[in-house]
């Protein structure tokens, strides 16, 4: 068997939707799993809605996700001549015919069908104008479209996801393949391109199932065997409705800005409609590639659960080495307008296991770097109120005890020993020594262990914060 060739064929008419990203990912995984080739084709034939800016957003989104293409990006608009030639080839072979009907004549035909309560279908036997009338209209220079003559036969395929699917040609329209301005419509362009690009597997959303019999008929009429089709399920929100902006962010770029890591997004998207079999959920790239098969794509719609994505992101934040987090954290710090010369690695290390998003992680780093970002939260205030006067008093004790540690002793191990000695010598509970420090340094009651927190905030800054809160 020759190596598979798959493609992702987005129309650059908007941002990169998570559904599109999932389709791209499945194609990419299939190519990586089989030693195949992943082709990127930008379907920019809708001149009014396609923009270079949208194309760039799609390319950036795929690059960020780590879904890299092997060939392309190809632009469908560049192949208009081939689309045209393929339509002409069908015309010459008698598999397509010219339709000189005007818009108002078509409206009349539609109205007739409606009056009979029948769905309108353009049929050659019924609607093709007599040769003489065609010749007259041709001489008059009237415009025409080219319609495909749909064969009256069964059109069936074994979908890699849905199994056997069968249509009857007589239930399908003699659809237009070339508009009167000479431009190809989607089904013609896509088949022409998929043939030219030697695509072996078409993996795309199941909203395209109804286009597939038309495309298969075109393949055969052009003398080519159709590829394997795998129609992947829709993505719904947690309320069971089609995923839309009502459910929150649907653009891949928004998740990047919200501090989701590409590795987590990739893992999460892979599980939207595919399962490795079994309960494993944390599947880094190499596992996804090793385990991905078309057979494990599900028919039923997938549910986009943003809470699960955030949970998964937290898992990746804990798991990934600090080095891999440096760039995303720096980007989030920029978005938060935090400038620092400091080595971020120890700061990231201190807070990454307690973070759900890179944004959340960067916010904690910002607080550790800059006291003006401390906000005393409800838990912090409640704790201080509960301790009453002892809150400030304990902090003064801490300040005294830690002031004697010089910069060379300011590390987590020595700080911990110093705080334990303080608790023992004063009889103050260790928790009532530690927790006020946490509140003084961060405003809240949850953080890395206090000695580590003191170490990352640094000697001068820690003592200043403790001094202020205990003052
Ligand atoms: N441009 C089409 C879309 O975005 C491609 C469909 C296909 O993959 O054939 O829906």
Task: Read off the CATH number of the domain in which 275 is found.
Answer: 3.40.50.620
Q: Which atom of ligand 1 is nearest to the CA of 207?
A: 10
The answer to whether residue 225 is domain-embedded is: no
The pLDDT tens digits for 205-240 are: 999 999 999 999 999 999 999 999 999 999 999 999
Whole-number Å distance, alpha carbon 407 to ligand 1 midpoint, is: 62
Q: Which atom of ligand 1 is nearest to the CA of 7?
A: 8
Is the shortest distance between the CB of 193 and ligand 1 below 6 Å?
no
The pLDDT tens digits for 258-291 are: 999 999 999 999 999 999 988 899 999 999 999 9
Residue to probe by mutation, ligand 1, list 7, 8, 10, most atoms within 8 Å of CB: 10
> Dihedral, CA atoms, 170, 172, 173, 176, nearest 10 degrees?
-130
Is the shortest distance between the CB of 10 and ligand 1 below 6 Å?
yes
* Domain final residue, candidates 149, 178, 207: 178
Is the shortest distance between the CB of 44 and ligand 1 below 6 Å?
no
Judge if 309 and 325 occupy the same domain.
no
The answer to whether residue 197 is domain-embedded is: no
Write down the pLDDT at residue 246: 87
Ligand 1, atom 4, residue with closest C-alpha: 10
Judge if 260 and 345 occupy the same domain.
no
Reading the block at residue 184, the tokens are 């190809």
Judge if 59 and 26 occupy the same domain.
yes
The answer to whether residue 213 is domain-embedded is: no
Residue to probe by mutation, ligand 1, list 6, 8, 9, 38, most atoms within 8 Å of CB: 9
Is the shortest distance between the CB of 32 and ligand 1 below 6 Å?
no
Whole-angstrom distance, CA of residue 317 vs CA of residue 357:
8
Is the shortest distance between the CB of 155 and ligand 1 below 6 Å?
no
Judge if 155 and 91 occupy the same domain.
yes
Is the shortest distance between the CB of 7 and ligand 1 below 6 Å?
no
* Average pLDDT over every residue of 298-303: 97
Q: Which atom of ligand 1 is nearest to the CA of 215?
A: 9
| CB within 8 Å of 168: residues ≥ 6 apart | 152, 153, 154, 155
Q: Which atom of ligand 1 is nearest to the CA of 23?
A: 8
Write down the pLDDT at residue 108: 94
pLDDT band at 413 (very low <50, low <70, confident <90, very high): very high
Whole-angstrom distance, CA of residue 127 vs CA of residue 101:
8
Instruction: Count Cβ atoms within 10 A of the Cβ of residue 321 and give its class: 0-12 exposed, 13-18 middle, 19 or more buried.
Output: exposed
The answer to whether residue 406 is domain-embedded is: yes
Write down the pLDDT at residue 47: 87
**Kind and range of the H or E run holding 23:** helix 18-34
The pLDDT tens digits for 11-67 are: 999 999 999 999 999 999 999 999 999 999 999 998 899 999 999 999 999 999 999
Q: Which atom of ligand 1 is nearest to the CA of 8?
A: 8
Whole-number Å distance, alpha carbon 11 to ligand 1 midpoint, is: 7
Whole-number Å distance, alpha carbon 192 to ligand 1 midpoint, is: 13
CA 338 to chain centre: 28
Ligand 1, atom 6, residue with closest C-alpha: 9
Is the shortest distance between the CB of 43 and ligand 1 below 6 Å?
yes
Judge if 325 and 279 occupy the same domain.
no
Is the shortest distance between the CB of 384 and ligand 1 below 6 Å?
no
Judge if 124 and 165 occupy the same domain.
yes
Judge if 90 and 170 occupy the same domain.
yes
The pLDDT tens digits for 70-125 are: 999 999 999 999 999 999 999 999 999 999 999 999 999 999 999 999 889 999 98
Ligand 1, atom 5, residue with closest C-alpha: 9
* Domain final residue, candidates 178, 195, 216: 178
* Average pLDDT over every residue of 419-447: 97
Judge if 260 and 341 occupy the same domain.
no
Whole-number Å distance, alpha carbon 6 to ligand 1 midpoint, is: 13
* Average pLDDT over every residue of 244-269: 94
Is 448's pLDDT higher than 80? yes
Judge if 64 and 108 occupy the same domain.
no
Judge if 330 and 310 occupy the same domain.
no
The pLDDT tens digits for 179-194 are: 999 999 999 999 999 9
Write down the pLDDT at residue 471: 85
DSSP at 207:
G
Whole-angstrom distance, CA of residue 330 vs CA of residue 324:
11
Q: Which atom of ligand 1 is nearest to the CA of 211?
A: 9
Judge if 174 and 96 occupy the same domain.
yes
Is the shortest distance between the CB of 19 and ligand 1 below 6 Å?
no
The answer to whether residue 221 is domain-embedded is: no
> Dihedral, CA atoms, 202, 204, 209, 214, nearest 10 degrees?
-40
Is the shortest distance between the CB of 184 and ligand 1 below 6 Å?
no
Is 1's pLDDT higher than 80? no
Catalytic residues: 245
Write down the pLDDT at residue 2: 87
Domain residues for 448?
Answer: 374-470
The answer to whether residue 157 is domain-embedded is: yes
The answer to whether residue 74 is domain-embedded is: no
Whole-angstrom distance, CA of residue 206 vs CA of residue 214:
15
What is the CATH classification number for the domain harbouring 130?
3.90.800.10
The answer to whether residue 207 is domain-embedded is: no
* Domain final residue, candidates 249, 284, 319: 319
Cα angle vertex 372, ends 371, 377, to 5°? Answer: 85
pLDDT band at 139 (very low <50, low <70, confident <90, very high): very high
Domain count for the chain, please give it: 4
Write down the pLDDT at residue 118: 87
Is the shortest distance between the CB of 9 and ligand 1 below 6 Å?
yes
Write down the pLDDT at residue 245: 87
Q: Which atom of ligand 1 is nearest to the CA of 194?
A: 9
Is the shortest distance between the CB of 212 and ligand 1 below 6 Å?
no
Judge if 39 and 101 occupy the same domain.
no
Residue to probe by mutation, ligand 1, list 19, 43, 83, most atoms within 8 Å of CB: 43
Whole-number Å distance, alpha carbon 285 to ligand 1 midpoint, is: 25
Whole-angstrom distance, CA of residue 468 vs CA of residue 462:
10
Ligand 1, atom 3, residue with closest C-alpha: 10
Taking every pair of C-alpha atoms in the chain, what is the biggest distance, in angstroms? 111
170-185 burial by CB neighbour count: b if 16+ within 10 A, else e?
eebebbbbbebeebbb
Ligand 1, atom 10, residue with closest C-alpha: 10
What is the CATH classification number for the domain harbouring 409?
1.10.10.350
């Amino acid at each position: 068997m020759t190596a598979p060739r798959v493609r992702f064929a987005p129309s650059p008419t908007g941002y990169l939707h998570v559904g599109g990203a999932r389709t791209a990912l499945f194609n990419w995984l299939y190519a990586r799993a089989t030693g195949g080739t992943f082709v990127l084709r930008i379907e920019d034939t809708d001149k009014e809605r396609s923009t270079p800016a949208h194309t760039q957003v799609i390319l950036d989104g795929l690059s960020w996700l780590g879904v890299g293409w092997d060939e392309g990006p190809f632009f469908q608009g560049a192949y208009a001549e081939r689309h045209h030639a393929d339509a002409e080839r069908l015309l010459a072979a008698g598999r397509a015919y010219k339709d000189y009907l005007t818009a108002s004549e078509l409206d009349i035909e539609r109205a007739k069908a409606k009056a009979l309560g029948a769905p309108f279908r353009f049929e050659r036997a019924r609607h093709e104008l007599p040769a003489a009338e065609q010749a007259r209209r041709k001489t008059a220079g009237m415009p025409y479209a080219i319609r495909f003559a749909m064969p009256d036969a069964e059109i069936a395929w074994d979908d890699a996801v849905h199994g056997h699917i069968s249509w009857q040609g007589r239930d399908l329209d003699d659809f237009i393949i070339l508009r009167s301005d000479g431009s190809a419509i989607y089904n013609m362009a896509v088949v022409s391109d998929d043939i030219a690009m030697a695509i072996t597997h078409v993996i795309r959303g199941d909203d395209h199932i109804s286009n597939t019999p038309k495309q298969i008929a075109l393949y055969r009429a052009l003398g080519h065997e159709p590829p394997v089709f795998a129609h992947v399920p829709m993505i719904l929100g947690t309320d069971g409705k089609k995923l839309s902006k009502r459910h929150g962010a649907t653009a891949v770029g928004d998740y990047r800005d919200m501090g989701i890591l590409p590795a987590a997004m990739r893992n999460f998207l892979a599980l939207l409609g595919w399962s490795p079999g079994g309960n494993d959920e944390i599947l880094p790239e190499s596992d996804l590639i090793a385990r991905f098969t078309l057979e494990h794509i599900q028919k039923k719609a997938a549910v986009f659960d943003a809470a699960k994505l955030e949970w998964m992101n937290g898992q990746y934040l804990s798991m990934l080495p600090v080095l891999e987090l440096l760039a995303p954290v720096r980007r989030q710090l920029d978005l938060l307008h935090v400038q620092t010369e400091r080595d971020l690695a120890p700061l990231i290390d201190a807070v990454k296991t307690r973070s759900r998003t890179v944004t959340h992680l960067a916010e904690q780093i910002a607080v550790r770097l800059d006291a003006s970002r401390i906000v005393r939260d409800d838990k912090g205030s409640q704790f201080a109120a509960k301790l009453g006067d002892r809150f400030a008093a304990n902090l003064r004790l801490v300040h005294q005890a830690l002031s004697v540690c010089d910069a060379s002793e300011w590390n987590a191990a020595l700080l911990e020993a110093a705080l334990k000695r303080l608790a023992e010598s004063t009889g103050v509970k260790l928790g009532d020594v530690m927790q006020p420090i946490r509140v003084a340094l961060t405003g809240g009651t949850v953080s890395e262990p206090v000695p580590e927190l003191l170490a990352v905030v640094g000697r001068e800054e820690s003592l200043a914060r403790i001094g202020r809160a205990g003052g």
